[in-house]
A and B are shown apart, each in its own frame.
Chain A
Amino acid sequence: MPAVSKGDGMRGLAVFISDIRNCKSKEAEIKRINKELANIRSKFKGDKALDGYSKKKYVCKLLFIFLLGHDIDFGHMEAVNLLSSNKYTEKQIGYLFISVLVNSNSELIRLINNAIKNDLSSRNPTFMCLALHCIANVGSREMAEAFASEIPRILVAGDTMDSVKQSAALCLLRLYKTSPDLVLMGEWTSRVVHLLNDQHMGVVTAAISLITCLSQKNPDEFKTCVSLAVSRLSRIVSSASTDLQDYTYYFVPAPWLSCKLLRLLQCYPPPEDGAVKGRLVECLETILNKAQEPPKSKKVQHSNAKNAILFEAISLIIHYDSEPNLLVRACNQLGQFLQHRETNLRYLALESMCTLASSEFSHEAVKTHIETVINALKTERDVSVRQRAADLLYAMCDRSNAKQIVAEMLSYLETADYSIREEMVLKVAILAEKYAVDYSWYVDTILNLIRIAGDYVSEEVWYRVIQIVINRDDVQGYAAKTVFEALQAPACHENMVKVGGYILGEFGNLIAGDPRSSPLVQFNLLHSKFHLCSVPTRALLLSAYIKFINLFPETKATIQEVLRCDSQIRNSDVELQQRAVEYLKLSSIASTDVLATVLEEMPPFPERESSILAKLKKKKGPGAVSVTDLEDSKREGGELNGGSDRGPDSGAMAASNASTPSPSADLLGIRSAAPIGAAPTSAGSLLVDVFSEAGPAAPSAAVNDDGFLRDLEPTETSDSLLVEGSGDSDSAPPSEDPATLLSEADELLNKFVCKNNGVLFENQLLQIGIKSEYRQNLGRMYLFYGNKTSVQFASFTTTPQLNVQTKPVEPLVEGGAQIQQVLNIECLTDFSEAPLLNIKFRYGGALQNLSLKLPVTINKFFQPTEMTSHDFFQRWKQLSLPQQEAQKIFKANHSMDTEVLKAKLLGLGTALLDDVDPNPENYVCAGVIQTKGQQVGCLLRLEPNGQAQMYRLTLRCSKDSVSMRLCELLAQQF
């Protein structure tokens, strides 16, 4: 090989590079580069035409400057000019510049394509290679369009030079990746596959990359490559080290090619053909045998190349996962590597064994190496190797060794690198939960985890321990005792305080019998941590305190005193202040019964995938959803609504207003109307809140601190329910099983005349919550079906007895879980019968069948109308036909308190008009009922007689049936 001189004759380039090297500072370097850029720019712009040599020199300099990290925004044209040079070096620099600097949407592509076309047809193999390289590097759509049909021909043509074939294979691969639609392999398939048989090893090496990619996309069409790859591999593996001459690397025949062949085989299941399979197994055995043979060279390159093949073979064995013999041999081989002096081998062996651990055939074999792996975790000097050891321990863990592994991981955590602590914590938490035989061990483990690595214990981990403690009553007492002890430590982690606060607040009573942990001792212990904690923890502690008041009435005075002190009740943090104020008030005005109800023990959490598992998945890759936010918010909800804003309600109204379709819109149009995006109100009371985690619905809902209300966002089933105008003919829909129509259904219905949210129905098994919104003639109703039992409801169906297109709800309702259904309602004309809803499900073996009236009443479609006294009486007089008026005199059933009445009348949906009736005791209202076909104006007058406890109710509407119906409805309300 001739000695190569500096810069090979390009003196200017050498000088420039030397200058750069001699620059003492970054500033000097930038100065020199800017000078050079200016120089080149002027040369390119100059009048004198540059010769090829100069262009090459300047383009080379630009490349060098680019390498140093400076953007190059000129010189492209000069590079393109170089492409048409006949000198290889000039052409090569041109192509190099373009492959490095030109992106696929450059305007120059057309010019470049021309040059490529010329070179491809030049029949000069080196030029063809350069052109193919360039297509492969740029890979733009335009290039694909120009050359996609040409390349396969070049690739398989008999007279193409080997080096050109190599470039063509990679070029085709790139075009296939960027524009698969333009690369039609059909007729070329078999000839491309047969490149595996090519005499030339380089061609095979290049072709495998292409075939691997194509096989992944169209496995069936390329199936034949399996047998060809096996025979090629077999020839290499069984060859003597001298057979392959230049493709032998340190006495290893064709290591890279072997690896690629083994990788290609991993795209397919084990060969079905017995002979092929036998040959392959033989190859794999030979590779495993060779690992045991004495090395042919002491050089590390030899063993590396050999082991590269070995690891790839083991990957294939693991991929097949069907040959127990090979799997166990692979495991033993990796076991040897675990103690190898080469760090690289130990690393790879740990990594590879991790996948072996999940195979049923080799899991036990992997487990035999537990001591070595634990040792690696303790003694490896390289953190990435320790990380692999931790991964492997996690993978090989099962019930038999869980205690040992968890203990080792915990003790390693004390000294673990910061970078891997969080993941370790998650893994310990998952293993502890997964393999917990007795839950006291689990609680101990997690509390240890918080003690050792509190900072790395994410929210998910401590949420999870609380979920488990709440769901398992056998561990609650132990948990309370253990956290109580853990909190005794003078400095304990804030996460410990959170767990402690929560658990003592729920289950402190279980250890209160012991004078050493009497209620006051417990409280004082918690409160001693209070001032060191952050706001969210303090908020949690305040909730624990109010729970204490319920659990231990004797602490009430002490706790009230704490709540009453300025640092709580006037805390600058609004959340803390509000909690203090509300809890103080609650504790002083609520009766013990109310307190006991409000502060009842948390209901069990629905069983679901562990939130920490989800977290680990998220850490490992995108796509895993976080369910934990919901869990958090749910607990907050149960804890007692800390006074969340009721704002979203108005937002909801505005949104629904905007989505009202024009009267001419077709009926189905409402399905596509913009969804009502804002949250339902919180007026659904605590009962609904307890159930308010959205069950299977949309765990992606954005949740923030007060987000438990937003969990109810309607994202699941959106059923369109068209409320047919019920003339008398079709008003009473036949119920399949009228017997189950509950007698008190009408009472239930009456509850909802003046309000939109609440619990519609509740029995031993099922609770149905309802939230609804109305705007003009449209309504949307959210039904929440909560399973009160711990048993799954199967075949859960709900059928509104109406003209509907219903998408079914989730057929299964897990114990304790809740599902929701959305009904879109349009009022076509006025009606008097409420629509029915049939609910069927299997609980245990028994079929449950329920019929309920949906609380959709005509008044829901009221639009309030403000008017003056004058207008009111003018219209009142206009509606003077006898059938337009409906009147009823009835006894008061409820409180006649002014505010209560006003609230009811407003809830009715009409406008409550002041100063209209000459008698201030009377109430008058006005509104318009919106149906699809018409608007019905309604005027109402309610005259209470306090002495007689009687009312007189008068309605005048532009449609007589509406007067009747409203009168009936309202008479039940007062």
Chain B
Amino acid sequence: MIKFVLMVNRQGQTRLSRYYDPVELNRRTLLENHVVHCCLSRRKDQCSFVEYKDFKLVYRQYAALYIVVGVTDNENELSVYELVHNFVEVLDKYFSRVSELDIMFNLDRVHIILDEMIQNGHVVETNKSRILAPLTALNKMADG
């Protein structure tokens, strides 16, 4: 099961966080700091899976942005690793070349996309056009 999805930049600033396991706010900040430090300090040739306390981190870097996913032990690391890429591709498709700014300024949209893909820590949808369906409908409404 997926415990959380984080998006952080190289400065360690959180750009997106979604927890599927309730975590208190002050512990969140601490966790994010740790996790970010843990992933940012790793070299490119190190593996993308890190054991962290009683769970695992799967992370992937896109330019200055890191996406870190906390998963329980029984999750398939590679499938989560590719899920992250799928998520980024969806964002890319929606924002046509997504950047950190897009994510900051459209947090609500990013959340909609993520919620279509992962619910309650489980993968529910991986088909790009179906993930984007609610947003497409939204844009149509706005246009019309």
Contact = CB atoms under 8 A, between A and B. Distances in A.
B76 A312 contact: yes
A88 interface: yes
B141 to A, nearest CB: 7
A93 B119 CA distance: 17
A57 to B, nearest CB: 11
B101 interface: yes
Nearest to B86: A249
Given A6-B105, A88-B138, A382-B45, A256 B120 contact: no
Interface in B17-59: 17-18, 22, 25, 28-29, 32, 43, 45-51
Nearest to B123: A256
Nearest to A260: B123
5 contacts: A89-B108, A96-B108, A202-B130, A381-B43, A385-B47
Interface string A380-392: 0110110100000
A173 B79 contact: no
Most chain B Cβ neighbours within 10 Å, of A60, A249, A311: A249
Interface stretch (A342-350, A752-760, A880-888): A342-350
A206 B127 contact: no
Interface string A346-359: 11100000000000
Contacts of B126: 202, 205, 247, 249, 254, 256-257
A33 interface: no
Interface in A156-193: 163, 166-167, 169-171, 173-174
A305 B108 contact: no
A344 B81 contact: yes
A7 B106 contact: yes
Nearest to A166: B124
Most chain A Cβ neighbours within 10 Å, of B51, B78, B101, B132: B78
A14 B105 contact: yes
Interface string B69-108: 0000010111101110110000001111000011011111
B10 interface: no
B50 A384 contact: yes
Interface in A241-299: 246-247, 249, 254-257, 259-260, 263
B65 interface: no
B25 A307 contact: no
Interface in A614-653: none
Most chain B Cβ neighbours within 10 Å, of A4, A206, A209, A311: A4
A202 to B, nearest CB: 5
B12 to A, nearest CB: 11
A8 interface: yes
Nearest to B28: A69
Contact of A209 (B45, B50, B94, B122): B122
A67 interface: yes
Contacts of A163: 130, 133
Contacts of A64: 107
Which 5 residue pairs spanning A and B have beta carbons closest together? A308-B78, A209-B122, A308-B79, A170-B119, A246-B127
A206 B16 contact: no
Nearest to B42: A382
Nearest to A14: B105
Contacts of A257: 126
B138 A21 contact: no
A256 to B, nearest CB: 5
Contact of B111 (A96, A103, A348): A96
Contacts of B48: 343-344
Given A304-B78, A344-B47, A170 B120 contact: yes
A744 B16 CA distance: 83
B116 to A, nearest CB: 8
A3 B132 CA distance: 14
Contacts of A256: 79, 82-83, 123, 126
Given A88-B141, A103-B22, A348-B78, A4 B122 contact: no
Contacts of B77: 308, 311, 344, 348
Nearest to A138: B22
B106 A4 contact: yes
Interface in A873-894: none
Contact of B82 (A133, A166, A301): A301
Nearest to A303: B78
Interface in A1-31: 1-4, 6-8, 13-14, 17, 21
Given A17-B104, A68-B14, A136-B120, 18 more contacts: A2-B139, A3-B96, A6-B101, A60-B108, A63-B107, A67-B16, A67-B107, A100-B18, A205-B123, A206-B125, A255-B79, A256-B82, A312-B79, A344-B81, A346-B47, A381-B45, A382-B47, A384-B51
B120 A137 contact: yes
Contacts of B139: 2
Contacts of B95: 4
A100 to B, nearest CB: 8
A126 interface: yes
A201 B124 CA distance: 9
B124 A69 contact: no
A278 to B, nearest CB: 25
Interface string A78-112: 00000000001100110010001001100000000
A455 interface: no
A7 B29 CA distance: 25
A26 to B, nearest CB: 11
B124 A206 contact: yes
B127 A247 contact: yes
Contacts of A88: 134, 137-138, 141
A4 B109 contact: yes
B115 to A, nearest CB: 6
Interface in A942-969: none
B119 A4 contact: no
Contacts of B138: 88-89
A69 B25 contact: yes
A485 interface: no
B125 to A, nearest CB: 5
A257 B18 CA distance: 23
Contact of B76 (A13, A100, A311): A311
A97 to B, nearest CB: 10
A212 to B, nearest CB: 9
A13 B16 CA distance: 16
A308 B71 CA distance: 15
A60 B107 contact: yes
A71 interface: yes
Contacts of A209: 120, 122-124
Given A246-B130, A347-B49, A1 B94 contact: yes
A1 B46 contact: no
Contacts of A169: 124
Contacts of B76: 259, 263, 308, 311-312
A133 B119 contact: yes
Given A1-B96, A255-B79, A263-B76, A206 B104 contact: no
Given A89-B138, A92-B112, A308 B105 contact: no
Contacts of B43: 381
A137 B111 CA distance: 13
A312 B79 CA distance: 9
Contacts of B32: 69
